[in-house]
Amino acid sequence: MTKKKRSKMPYIVFLLVILVVALAVVIYKLPVQEEGKADKKADKDKGITLEYGDSYVFSGDIKSVSGDDEKILKIDKDNPGKARAVECGKAAVELKSGETVRVTVEPARLTLVLFAGQSNCEGRLATDETVDTVRKRVVLNEPLTAFATYGVSDNETGEEVNWIRNPIEALNVSNAKAYLPESLTDNSKNEEHNRTDTLTTDKDTAGKTGIDSAFAYEWYKNTGEKVWIVNAAHHGSKIQSWIPTSEETDNNFWQAVELYRGAERILSKEIEAGHYVLAHKGILWCQGENNYRMGSGEYVSRFQEMFEAFEEQLNGEGIAGLERELDFCGINIVRAAMDTPDNEEDFVLTGPRSAQFYMTTGEFDEKIILAANVSEKWGNDNSVKEYFADKYGNDEDFNAAYPKEDTQIKMPTSVREVHGGFHYTQLAYNEIGFDAADNICEMISAGKNGKAGVEEIELVMEDGVTDRSGTTVNVTAGKYVPFAVKVFPASRQKDVRISCSDNVIYDSKGLMITDEADSKGNITGEVKVTVGKTTRKIEINGKN
């Protein structure tokens, strides 16, 4: 009888099982690497590189610092394992464990931004909100990451906005220097009105309501760039006061120019000292309520004149390290400022609102961009509640999202909690600041993330709220009507491409269908809006 030949397969399977088990045992016995340990090892072997103003937490308490300059690192008095880079150069940090870490401190990148416009850019308080409430809700920045200069519009407003009564006159061309610090980073010789650390945890009694602190916080988080905000906004101002005159008369435009130029000169000294390099220069604009009766075409024309003048004046000519053009002019979309500003009527497409949506699409100047449109989501109580719930989840996560003094705040659930009267609440200012920084960073490629996808496209007419996408709208032929494209997130607004049928016009004045009828006497047309691969359209039915 012939013996059957045994298959080798069982032995192979058995050997494979043994190998897998052995490998599992080896892996199991390997020490588990705690989060951050790989980075710490790299620190020991290769050293670490910080930027001027950065803080760093070492793996143990610091025993001593030596090197080019013993003042390169300042040890935190409350945390002996933490140090902040306060000069540039090389140092050796000896830990109490005996480990030595080499540290190189390089100049920091810094972005200089002018805030211009009216009260919601200056930071006026909402109805029923007090300074005591606001100061506990303002975003707090790490020291030496955010800097602030605020040219007060009047003493009463200054006391409300930056919490002090200023000892000097309101900002004007001749006194702008008095609002600027002697040094960007050393506040020891500065008064409260010209300290630069008011947006940080280093602040004493001084502070600042508004979007300033949240904008700086989010910009630094996105880019690692420090931020200096020069706020020259003036409550109640019309765009006419921001148009340059032939001479440096004392209007809002020249006051802002003088304040910003002074900041450029101080920053130039810091650059010369090796502390900073310029990262970006820009403008953040929030204005239009006081021009709600102005037509869209006129507002566009005046805005262009203003921006071109700012480009000419803020190019850093003759100031070492600052000689470059503005990178951006971001617009925080204005509200309508109608008689009932606490509900959806405040979204009506006034001339300034129509103009700002138009200027920030892909049809216009590339530098003029939509910075923040998040307030367009706050038309009623339900939409406010939905916005915060979608973004943060619950109150606990909301309070943990960013540093502030009060950590027991309930998320807003009504319009009054984000927009009381004509001004935003501080919690809303925070959201607008975050939104503006995120979107500008995205659009100028300063952020770390790739381009955001399109979440929503709305085609709105006069009421500014109802999405007309996929519908037919009836208009009077030969007459301009308000029209705007809203894109969420705002970083995609510049990607908007608008195409119209031959008998439909969309320009700075609005949307119009001509009175040309077809062979059957009908006046019809189409508007198509494309963002990336997403398209929305509306049919136009014209009536004589």
- What DSSP letter does each residue of 103-162 carry, written as one string? EEEEPEEEEEEEEEESHHHHTPPPTT--HHHHHTTSPPBPTTTEEEEE--S-HHHHHHHS
Q: What is the mean pLDDT of the chain?
A: 89
- pLDDT score recorded for residue 420: 86
pLDDT > 90 fraction of the chain, expressed in percent and rounded: 77
- pLDDT score recorded for residue 454: 87
Q: Given pLDDT bands bounded at 50, 70 and 90, which one contains residue 31?
A: very low
Q: With a cut of 60, say whether residue 86 has pLDDT above it.
A: yes
What element of type H or E holds 331? strand 328-332
Q: With a cut of 80, say whether residue 251 has pLDDT above it.
A: yes
Structure tokens at 236: 């109640």
| Mean pLDDT of all residues in 309-332 | 97
How would you classify the pairing of strands 328-332 and 368-372? parallel
Q: Given pLDDT bands bounded at 50, 70 and 90, which one contains residue 325?
A: very high
Q: Given pLDDT bands bounded at 50, 70 and 90, which one contains residue 46?
A: low
Q: Which amino acid is it at 436? A: A
Answer whether 0.95 is exceeded by the pTM.
no
Q: Which amino acid is it at 467? A: D
CA distance 135 to 69: 38
Of 234, 244, 329, residue with least CA distance to 285: 329
At 54 the three-state DSSP class reads coil
Of 53, 116, 107, 110, residue with least CA distance to 260: 116
- pLDDT score recorded for residue 446: 55
Of 475, 456, 477, 459, residue with least CA distance to 538: 459
With beta carbons less than 8 A apart as the criterion, state whether 382 and 417 touch: no
| Mean pLDDT of all residues in 437-458 | 81
Instruction: Using alpha carbons, list the distances in angstroms from residue 258 to 125, 253, 269, 519.
Output: 26, 9, 17, 61
Higher pLDDT, 41 or 182: 182
Give tens-digit pLDDT for 99-108: 999 999 999 9
CA distance 110 to 277: 6
At 354 the three-state DSSP class reads helix
| Mean pLDDT of all residues in 453-476 | 95
- C-alpha triplet 83, 214, 445: angle, nearest 5°: 85
| Mean pLDDT of all residues in 39-57 | 74
**Sign of the CA dihedral 430, 435, 440, 441?**
positive
Q: With a cut of 60, say whether residue 11 has pLDDT above it.
A: no
| Mean pLDDT of all residues in 14-33 | 42
Higher pLDDT, 204 or 520: 520
CA distance 535 to 381: 29
Q: Given pLDDT bands bounded at 50, 70 and 90, which one contains residue 462?
A: very high
Higher pLDDT, 71 or 199: 199
CB neighbours (10 Å) of residue 226? 28
- pLDDT score recorded for residue 417: 96
| Mean pLDDT of all residues in 142-154 | 94
Q: With a cut of 50, say whether residue 17 has pLDDT above it.
A: no
Lowest mean pLDDT among 80-89, 474-483, 516-525: 516-525
Of 371, 356, 63, residue with least CA distance to 347: 356
pLDDT > 70 fraction of the chain, expressed in percent and rounded: 89
